[in-house]
Chain A
Amino acid sequence: MIEIKNIYLKIEDKEIFKNFSVKISKNEHVCFSGHSGKGKSTLLKIIQGYVIPQNGIIQIDGKILNPENVKSLRNLMSYIPQNVNLPVENLYELINFIGAKNYEEKIFNILEILKINKKEATKPFDQLSGGEKQRIIIAFCLSLNKQIILMDEPTSGLDNESSNIIIELVKNLKNNTIVSVSHNPLWWQSCDKIIEL
């Protein structure tokens, strides 16, 4: 599903990846861990075509990532960043902004599983805690029905109880390829493979 072959990436005199390769099969959940600065989050950006290595190949769904197909390949993905300040006031505005009206019911269903009811979820974002916002973003992205889900530190800012709920939810996603980055040993339980960078 995702194959990174012999990439070389240098950013501002720092070699981030040197002949790095990894293969992620369809519907596999792979988590990258390791010390900061090792390029874990960068790897998620490489897969999305936001960071382009100086050398090497990125192959997604059998196609080599290039300027011509980057848009269609990104359409296979959903990206859950670690921290993002949304440009909208609440979940309804986010749904309208991204054009996800068709997924509204699914979003609220996932939010129920994540223990956030509709009333809570539609409050202005500035009245929600960091953990609640994180769960809303996760529910939103998971509902988009994308084949590949990229998650950057999905449990950061969450207590153990919330983390466990998300872990259980992700464990049950059998038809998605999930690439995550996490330091959290709890999260690793939801993964098929953990790769230390």
Chain B
Amino acid sequence: MNHGAQDISVFSLAIGFLALLIPILILNYFKIKIIKDLAISLLRMTLQLSLVGVYLEVIFKINNLWINLLWIIAMILVTAWTSIKRVKLNLKNYIFPVTLAILISLTLTNIFFIGTIIRPAYLFDARYLIPISGMILGNSLNHNIVGMSTYLDAFRTKKELYYFILTNSGNRQLAIQPFIKESIIRALNPLIAGMSVMGLISLPGMMTGQILGGSSPATAIKYQIMIMIAIFTGCFFSLLLSIIFANKKLFDKFGNLS
């Protein structure tokens, strides 16, 4: 049982877009101004995925160590760049610490999950390395944005708590602890909630993809469980390290949020 999914012709795919007509008509009727954003997003998604499709076809065919690694580094850089921009931090100051944090967390997660659990014949096989890294990075991006924003907002709104702990304990690591805690809870809670209803509310994307691609449901489930643990671990380390590495730039010489 390893036959690929039924291919969709470009024409059929174009017909698929027609499903959006009714929501667009209703949006237009109620003057809900998201039609332009929707059109731009659809266009971007189609273009980006088409390009990625072409790239991946080539990358999978060549399956060269350096090209695969280069692709991963490009993905890490885009993840770091997007998180910094969304959190509204200075790109020049934070690109290095955040990239380093994501690089370390992804490397460790990949070594553990691809290297010791999946154990493909070739460790850097693009077929495993790129999609799994992509899923971890995609999730890290979202959770990093939520976590870093929460961390910074908490410092702005709860300054007194920081001053109270720092002056009375004399320990800066202790003073930032409640803020890291809050950031991790806020960032990872949706992931934990998502895991708890997985399979009940929806079949997760990766598992569905694998089943459509011809894998047995048993294999798809094992992969799905593994990828969820990998995503959680990757997101956790990526956020924690991003905060730890960014702290050097976030605070001035007096220990104040700059």
Interface size range on B against A: 20 to 34
Contact residues in B for A50 (Cβ distance below 8 Å):
159, 163, 254, 256
Stretch of A27-35, A79-87, A108-116, A157-165 at the chain-chain interface: A79-87
Chain B residues touching A, majority SS: helix
Contact residues in B for A141 (Cβ distance below 8 Å):
168
Q: Name the CB-closest residue of A to B255.
A: A70
Contact residues in A for B178 (Cβ distance below 8 Å):
87
Q: Mark interface residues in B161-182 (1 if CB within 8 Å of A CB, else 0).
A: 1011111111100100110010
A49 close to B254 (CB less than 8 A): yes
Contact residues in A for B170 (Cβ distance below 8 Å):
71, 74-75
Contact residues in B for A83 (Cβ distance below 8 Å):
160
B254 close to A78 (CB less than 8 A): no
Given contacts A67-B253, A67-B254, contact A98 B165 (CB under 8 A): yes
Q: Name the CB-closest residue of A to B167.
A: A79
Say yes or no: is B31 at the interface (Cβ < 8 Å to chain A): no
B158 close to A85 (CB less than 8 A): yes
Say yes or no: is A190 at the interface (Cβ < 8 Å to chain B): no
- Closest chain-A Cβ to B249's Cβ sits at a distance in Å of 15
B253 close to A79 (CB less than 8 A): no
- Closest chain-B Cβ to A177's Cβ sits at a distance in Å of 14
Chain A residues packing against B (C-beta within 8 Å): 45, 48-52, 67, 70-71, 74-75, 77-79, 81-87, 97-99, 140-141, 144, 150
CB-CB contacts below 8 Å: B37-84 with A: none
Q: What is the number of contacts between chain A and chain B, taking CB atoms within 8 Å? A: 60
Contact residues in B for A97 (Cβ distance below 8 Å):
165, 174
A48 close to B167 (CB less than 8 A): yes
Q: Name the CB-closest residue of B to A51.
A: B256
- Closest chain-A Cβ to B165's Cβ sits at a distance in Å of 7
A84 close to B166 (CB less than 8 A): no
What separation, in Å, do the CA atoms of A84 and B157 have in the docked complex? Answer: 11
B168 close to A86 (CB less than 8 A): no
Given contacts A70-B254, A74-B166, contact A86 B161 (CB under 8 A): yes
- 10 nearest CB pairs, A to B: A67-B253, A87-B178, A79-B167, A81-B160, A98-B169, A49-B254, A75-B170, A84-B160, A84-B164, A81-B164
B161 close to A99 (CB less than 8 A): no
B174 close to A79 (CB less than 8 A): no
Contact residues in A for B158 (Cβ distance below 8 Å):
85
Contact residues in A for B167 (Cβ distance below 8 Å):
48, 74, 77-79, 150
Contact residues in A for B255 (Cβ distance below 8 Å):
49, 70-71
A85 close to B161 (CB less than 8 A): yes
- Closest chain-B Cβ to A16's Cβ sits at a distance in Å of 16
- Closest chain-A Cβ to B90's Cβ sits at a distance in Å of 20
- Closest chain-A Cβ to B102's Cβ sits at a distance in Å of 28
A79 close to B168 (CB less than 8 A): yes
B169 close to A99 (CB less than 8 A): yes
Among B161, B168, B178, max chain A CB count under 10 A is at: B168
What separation, in Å, do the CA atoms of A99 and B171 have in the docked complex? Answer: 10
A79 close to B164 (CB less than 8 A): yes
